[in-house]
Amino acid sequence: MKLPKYITKIDPVYLWLAVILAVAAFMRFYHYTSFSFSNDELSAINRLRFNSFHELVEKGFYVDGHPGGVQVMLWYWIKLFGVSEASLRFPFVIFGILAVLFAFLVGKQLFGSVSGLFTAAAIAFLEFPLLYSQIARPYGSGLFFCLLNFWFWFRVVDEKMYNSGTRPARIANLAGYAVSAALCMYNHYFSFLLAAVIGLTGLFLVKRRMLAGYLLAGITACLLFLPHLYITLNHLTYKGVGLWLGKPTTAWIAEHILFIFNHQVWLMIITLLVAAVLAKLNLKRLVNNKYRIVVMLFFLLPMAIGYIYSVKINPVLQHPVLIFSFTFLLLFLFSFGGDQFKPVHSVLLAVFLIAGVYSTAGYGNYYNKQHFGEFRDVAKQILKAGKKYGKQNVTNIISANSPYYITYYFDIQKDSAQLLMTNVTSDSLESLGKKVRNCGTPYLLYALTKPSPDEAEDIIAASYPYRLENINYGGLSKLFIYSKDRPESYSEKEKVIADRQMTFEENPMPIPQMNLSKDFAYSGACSMKVDSIIEYSPGLVIEPGDTYGFTGGQKAVAEAWVWFDHKPKDAIMVLSLEAPGKEPLVWKGAVISNYASAGKWYRVLQTIIIPEKTDPKAVIKTYIWNKGRERFFLDEMKVTLKQFD
């Protein structure tokens, strides 16, 4: 069967470009509405709920720390198309596809069509640009704007390109460069940074007779950004992500490069082999090209500046902010491919594309794993629990940056539920303890949609000891349902390996000089009276036994019952993993005021996870540290080592 003549006459380069764009479009549109809005997306939506443009500026992004370009675009967008995953993410999917197209165009005009095709193919299948083209944040858009900016920039500063164009074309390229630079500036401060690096580099490359037009275009871009300047000056006073983002380590750059290649060493090796084969096939036509140095600078400089700024001033460096410049690494790798497309290139491109798609969608399980914190299913589970147990019987506590992130999905499902607490932090644990002790419902649901203190789970479990449900969203979000009373069909999910306990009964007395209180105890006949003389209570120790040792994933649980005649202040129940003569491998202190009030027996609970690499001589210890030398009663101390089933 012969192909139609109009197909056989098409340049195979453009046939392959069509295939690559089809792959890029399919991978970006597939599943793009199937996962929950991320925290950042819901934050953006929350800051769109204003009636006027002035409110949008002052309350939507003046106080946010990001340029307002994307926020303004979304504000107008939702007026036309509404607020949904499909609506808000659609333009960013399109930006992601256009980024693949312009990766080809940039590669072609710099190094040749072969280089352009392989660069475009990599961007089409790599998880990094794919993921950030599927969410309504300024990463997919910025990737496209930066490639567009570079494309116009090259046509302005390269003498051959400049000379080959007509005067109207030159003016159009200058205008395109100015507008695209402004778009980068309004999009994100790291796309702004890359546009600045590109613009300053051009001063060293542009010829004198083109300099005036180039400077005018740069000034125009700055003037276009001028209305935003007072907002940016305010943003520079913010710590932003530096409040929770740690300083990058010396290994961060190597980790980022591996991140670009799907965290898969084999994919990185295949990419390097493909680049080497391309260079070998084009060996006789290889020429020096100053733009190889340029593109590597454009990849390295934003990363270096971000790294130095993060270490010296304020941590800002994350993988997503380098999406704007990562394409230049690919352009460098494939820069030796040249412009002579041969049948062998078709074979190599097919292998590369298939391997890359498999790396992301198959081996990497991209479409089935959790990429961000979960909100949609958390809201669904809260409503489901209310129907199953009765809304009046369930206390709902969530930890989220805003309750709107959950109530948004309540509104979508046309239902509602009361949230007793919406943000659990280290500073709010005492408040959490009070709410849990006093809520009075037989069931409690606790959902984490952001990093929250581990102690919160112990505080809840101290009053609601039976965990009925445990949903883990890839470690990025969690949801638990607890019961105050033991259900009939309840079974423990963990196997007890070893345990030690102390009941403080009068006979026999296990510890000399123990101050026992007769006829006052949580259970039995006696408890221990702790007063200002006692700084440390008797302790319990679990040592490695003949039939068990300490291995990663095991859980040590300490518990005790306490009674205070006043509000607890500084007393702490300590649980630690210690090796002789060394600093504790793990040390946690349960602040008793988070668990107990006055005039009643309360259970204090503390949990630690045994690290994978643990000294074989290590022991587990628990005791009460009466730090403030308070008066209280102690009963039924226990420590247990458990293994997850």
Q: Is the pLDDT of residue 507 over 80?
A: no
Express each pLDDT in 42-82 by its tens digit: 999 999 999 999 999 999 999 888 999 999 999 999 999 99
- Measured from the Cβ of residue 286, the count of other Cβ atoms closer than 10 Å reads 12
- Paired tokens of 579: 């090796």
Here the tokens at position 407 are 């109530």
Q: Which one has a higher pLDDT value, 517 or 138? A: 138
> How big is the CA angle at 385 (ends 422 and 559), to the nearest 5 degrees?
65
Alpha-carbon distance 385 to 395, whole Å? 10
pLDDT of residue 241: 56
Residues of the chain above pLDDT 70, percent: 96
According to the model, what pLDDT value does residue 519 have?
A: 80
CA distance 154 to 56: 36
The pLDDT value given to residue 553: 78
Confidence band, pLDDT 50/70/90 cuts, at residue 492:
confident
d(CA 268, CA 254): 12
- Inform me whether the pLDDT recorded for 312 exceeds 80: yes
Query: Are the CB atoms for 260 and 326 separated by under 8 Å?
Result: yes
pLDDT digits (tens, 9 = 90+) for 289-304: 899 999 999 999 999 9
Mean pLDDT, rounded, for 110-137: 97
Tokens at residue 635, please?
């009963």
Mean pLDDT of 430-456: 95
- Note whether 610 and 557 are within 8 A (CB): no
Q: Which of 531, 533, 501 is nearest to 622 (CA)?
A: 501
Question: Which tens digits make up the pLDDT trace of 551-561?
Answer: 877 899 999 99
Instruction: Give the start-end residues of each E strand in 390-433.
Output: 394-399
- Split at pLDDT 50, 70, 90, the class of 580 is confident
Are 110 and 291 spatial neighbours (Cβ–Cβ below 8 Å)?
yes
Q: Residue 177 contacts by C-beta under 8 Å, 6 or more apart in sequence?
A: 149, 152, 153, 155, 156, 217, 221
pLDDT of 524 reads 85
Give the three-class secondary structure for 368.
helix
State the pLDDT confidence band at 258, using cuts at 50, 70 and 90.
very high
Q: Is 92 helix (H, G, I), strand (E, B) or coil?
A: helix
Per the prediction, the chain carries an average pLDDT of 92
| For range 191-218, the mean pLDDT | 95
Instruction: Identify the pLDDT of residue 582.
Output: 87
Average pLDDT over residues 415-444: 94
Name which of 96-100, 243-247, 502-506 the model is least confident about. Answer: 243-247
8 Å CB contact between 610 and 479: no
Q: Is the pLDDT of residue 238 over 60?
A: yes
Residues contacting residue 203 through CB under 8 Å, at least 6 positions apart: 211, 214
- Give bridge partners of residue 607 from the DSSP assignment: 557
Would you say residue 530 has pLDDT above 70?
A: yes
Q: Is the pLDDT of residue 494 over 90?
A: no
Query: What would the pLDDT profile of 613-622 be if each residue is shown by its tens digit?
Result: 888 889 999 9
Shortest CA distance to 287 belongs to which of 85, 112, 510, 425?
112
Beta bridge partners of 562: 602, 634
Distance between CA atoms of 157 and 448, rounded to whole angstroms? 51
The CATH number assigned to the domain with range 494-644 reads 2.60.120.260
Confidence class for position 400, pLDDT limits 50, 70, 90: very high
On whether the CB atoms of residues 71 and 115 are closer than 8 A, the answer is no
CA angle 171/176/182 to nearest 5° reads 130
Instruction: State CA 407 to chain mean position distance.
Output: 22
The percent of residues in the chain predicted with pLDDT above 90, rounded, is: 80
pLDDT score of 2: 56
Distance, CA of 428 to CA of 588 (rounded, Å): 18
Q: Is the peptide bond before 508 cis (omega within 30 degrees of 0)?
A: yes
Q: Who's near 451: CB < 8 A, 6+ residues apart?
A: 244
Phi, psi (deg, nearest 5) at residue 282: -110, 15
Give the pLDDT confidence score for residue 544 in this predicted structure.
85
Quick one: average pLDDT of 144-149? 98
Between residues 33 and 513, the one the model is more confident about: 33
How far apart CA 99 and CA 121 sit, in angstroms, is 11
Domain residue ranges of the chain, discontinuous segments joined by +: 5-368, 376-483, 494-644
Name the packing angle between helices 189-205 and 323-333 (round to 10°): 40
Residue from 425, 423, 424, 417 nearest 443 by CA: 417
- pLDDT of residue 444 exceeding 60, the answer is yes
Alpha-carbon distance 504 to 294, whole Å?
Answer: 75
pLDDT, residue 301, reads: 96
